[in-house]
Amino acid sequence: MIQWEALAGVAGHMDIKYEGGDADRNLIDSLQYSKSLEGSSRLYRLIAHYCLYGEVLTPRQKSSLRCFSAPAEKGSYDTAIAVLTDLTHHYPAFNDIYKKAFDWLVATVMTYVKDSLSGKSSVKELVEVIKEQATNSSELNVLLANGLVRANDNLASLLEKAISSAPLLVEQARPHYRAALTPVGKSCVEMIQFSGKEGQIVITEPDALAIRSDEDLVVGEAGAFTINRVFSLSVNSGSCLVEIDGVDGTHPGKITDIALSQPNNPYTRALDNHKPFKVRAKPVYKDGDLHKLFITEA
């Protein structure tokens, strides 16, 4: 395993993990994987540049930051992307002690972007989280003083500047995030960014659906639902059409529970006997109405 903290020129790195589906058999579609790697690299560089310089890269603008990928972990497609810069030797923010703070800051802003694209973000909350962390981290304060805060005059004005720059950051990040999530729902069930670190980002199929969509979809919180009836079900893909207690009409769903592949499972039984059963699921809403239900267990 590469010891990133010991490498000169590395400002930070992001471990990426793919889980579920084909990825659990150490397989992944090669075209999906290549698109995901390119999207992840462009997304990481965009947000790292924003954290470092306090500006949003435009499509034609160049950055001093470069992204490099490390070899995948043996026996899997889990990989890492590192940001390198030619400013390392004369820019104090890239001393080894600042790399952890830099990774935290990039992960925090990336989480905001992901939540914004899936309909559940707050710029004010983002700024408050950064301010609170800065009160307990001298390393983060140095990063902010040389980056976001320097670009925004002072920490107190960070909210105002973030409100004005965040929408552009999200829009520039959208195509890169979509590319990064190419395997989700196809070769894998979820992707984890900054895997194993504080603030790791888990992107599930509901999140991927919202991020890919041109419509305003909102991912709800996971909870308990009662399925009154299953009208159709694909055992191979998990796609289904269900009637949900308390919700008018029928709605498309997706079952990601591994139990679906087992004989005599709750889902195929419900398809046969038409009896209600309880599930745990995450809803996706459109204009306040249920759009699709992602079922994780029964």
The answer to whether residues 112 and 142 belong to one domain is yes
Domain interval for residue 277:
220-297
pLDDT at 61: 84
For residues 228 and 85, membership in a common domain is answered with no
* Position 180 in a domain: yes
Burial of 277 (0-12, 13-18, 19+ CB in 10 A): middle
Q: What is the pLDDT of residue 202?
A: 95
Which segments in the chain show pLDDT lower than 70?
1-11, 73-75, 82-97, 145-160
188 and 111 in a single domain? The answer is: yes
The domain spanning residue 264 has which CATH number?
A: 2.40.50.140
Among the candidates 204, 231, 256, a domain finishes at 204
For residue 36, tell me if it sits in a domain: yes
Helices (H), the chain: 30-53, 99-117, 123-135, 138-146, 148-151, 158-180, 205-212, 266-273
pLDDT of residue 135: 81
SS3 265: coil
Residue 233 lies in a domain: yes
Quick one: pLDDT at residue 68? 79
* Same-domain status, 164 and 31: yes
Residues 187, 233: one domain?
no
- Percent of the chain at pLDDT > 70 equals 84
Same domain, 26 and 60: yes
pLDDT tens per residue across span 175-190:
999 999 999 999 999 9
- Give the model's pLDDT for residue 25: 86
Residue 190 lies in a domain: yes
Same domain, 113 and 159: yes
